[in-house]
Amino acid sequence: MNNQEAKFRANILAGAKISRRRLWSKRPVLLAIAASLVLLAVIDGVWTRPTRLDPWQNAALAVVSTFVPGHEPFDHEAADSRELLQWLQTQNAPAVDVMPAALQTLPTLGCKIISSGGKAVSIMCFKMQDGKVVHLVVTDASGLPHLPPSHPTFVKQQDWVTATWLQNGRVCMLATKASDQQLRDLLPVTAQARVSHTRTG
């Protein structure tokens, strides 16, 4: 091997070492990009599983979508959620046993009982601070083909964001056209923590 060949080989080896060092120096950046992709996948999964709502949920959203502000066809009207709950109980309609604390601070507009697949479904409507409305929909869990877990699961459907959970033999759904953050703010702290943990992976 002459001097020129030796020098050429040395340059190649030196370049390979520099390339390895550059790749190693970029490793934290590559790891950060990979972590971001994983986080986006988790966030997308939180809001897209399950991919669709059940018939009783769609029935409730179809009814409240027809409401005209100030002219809602409520079965009973009251500004206090406790009065609405008492009325639902007198009608033997499904109602929550424990209402999220944040909902208890909101004024109510009224409630309505509908039927879906032969099952009673109750709807309570609350007025949020910005004037938007959030609906608490409840039905008995018995006979339903799909039951959610006891912690809220989230679905976005058209303009609606919803959170659904199982509570003492009843399935509850919060639905609103407000932002998903406003919806999460109405959930118990434990539910918010679970959502935050899921999103940050």
* pLDDT tens series, the chain, 201 aa: 555 555 555 555 555 555 555 544 555 544 544 444 433 333 343 444 445 899 999 999 999 999 988 888 999 999 999 999 999 999 999 999 888 899 999 999 999 999 999 999 999 999 999 999 999 999 999 999 999 999 999 999 999 999 999 999 999 999 999 999 999 999 975 444 333 333 333
CATH number of the domain to which 168 belongs: 3.30.200.100
Query: How many domains does the structure of the chain reveal?
Result: 2
- Identity of residue 158: Q
Residue 68 is predicted with a pLDDT of 86
Q: Between the CA of residue 59 and those of 94, 120, 143, 180, what are the distances in Å?
A: 15, 11, 16, 21
Instruction: Judge if 143 and 58 occupy the same domain.
Output: yes
Range of the domain at 33: 3-45
Instruction: Judge if 102 and 32 occupy the same domain.
Output: no
- Contact (CB, 8 A) for 68 and 176: no
Instruction: Judge if 114 and 170 occupy the same domain.
Output: yes
Instruction: Judge if 115 and 79 occupy the same domain.
Output: yes
153's CB contacts (< 8 A; 6+ apart) are: 49, 50, 163, 164, 165
Candidates 84, 126, 136; CA nearest to 105 is: 126
Residue 3 is predicted with a pLDDT of 59
